[in-house]
Amino acid sequence: MAETSDGKCLLCGETVSKRMIKKHLDKCRVISGECVAEDNDKSGKYYCFAVQGLHDPKYWIYMDIFVGSTLDALDGFLRDIWLECCGHLSAFEINGQYFSSSPDRSLGDKSMNIRLEKILEVGTQFKYEYDFGSTTSLKLKVVSEYYGKKRKRSVKLLARNHQPDIQCSCCGKPATNVCCECIYDDTGWLCDDCAKEHECGEEMLLPVVNSPRVGVCAYAGGSYDE
């Protein structure tokens, strides 16, 4: 994960750099009691993932998920936190194999209904795409595994980047809106005042949210926005 930025550990609330967050989580997980003995009948095995925008790595999260969960569960979590706007299709590419939300068998696609432990291990890196028109691409890596307390929800958000400091393209104040057209020229970031005067009109504006899909399609934020 190349680009450095700060984020928040959701186990302890501390601000930690992207460069140091894995090391921090390894320690914080023990201190917080997330880790338990392997032979404990109340434990489960979890993968910890580092996830970032493939083309915009200042957006990043760390999360864990029960190894017996499916790619479909991982897909649902990524949609909820960062992506879902119009029910678009999505796919993972893992070791050259595509796992699709709507698999085309003639192209060799496989279903997402496959358990993570069957196709992933610590060190596995892979890609994910949401929406094959206005695509948002993510880069994922399994960075560790551990035994933790069994819980009802298979996926848990551990850390995420702070909202990037984006300035209005017109006046330099903090941007609160983004124009879906002008964003591609990197001139579409607008504060509330400048948005009122923007020539493309209010119907082209979306809120500035903490996601690599900001300003794309109709995306207006996820279930985990700060």
205 or 42, which is more confident: 205
Write down the pLDDT at residue 2: 38
**70 and 18 inside one domain:** yes
224 or 109, which is more confident: 109
Identify whether the C-beta of residue 182 lies closer than 8 Å to the C-beta of residue 158: no
Per-residue pLDDT tens over the stretch 166-223: 999 999 999 999 999 998 887 899 999 999 999 999 999 999 999 999 999 999 998 7
Segment 138-155 mean pLDDT: 93
Q: Is 27 left (phi over 0), alpha (psi -120 to 50) or beta?
A: alpha
Give the total number of structural domains in the chain.
Answer: 2
Query: What residue type is assigned to position 137 of the chain?
Result: S
Is position 115 within any domain?
yes
Which tokens is 211 given? 């996601």
Confidence of residue 225 (pLDDT cuts 50, 70, 90): low
Write down the pLDDT at residue 171: 95
- d(C-alpha 128, C-alpha 63), whole Å: 15
Confidence of residue 43 (pLDDT cuts 50, 70, 90): confident
**92 and 191 inside one domain:** no
**38 and 144 inside one domain:** yes
Q: Could you give the percent of the chain with pLDDT greater than 70?
A: 96
Is position 222 within any domain?
no
7 or 224, which is more confident: 7
Q: Which domain holds residue 182?
A: 165-209
Write down the pLDDT at residue 224: 65
Q: What is the 3-state secondary structure (H, E, C) of the chain?
A: CCCCCEEEECCCCCEEECCCHHHHHHHHHHHCCCECCCCCCCEEEEEEEEEEECCCCCCEEEEEEECCCEHHHHHHHHHHHHHCCCCCCEEEEECCEEEECCCCHHHCCEECCCEHHHCCCCCCEEEEEECCCCCEEEEEEEEEEEEEECCCCCEEEEEEECCCCCECCCCCCECCEEECCHHHHCCCEECHHHHHCCCCCHHHEEECCCCCCCCCCCCCCCCCCC
Write down the pLDDT at residue 17: 96
Is position 38 within any domain?
yes
**136 and 196 inside one domain:** no
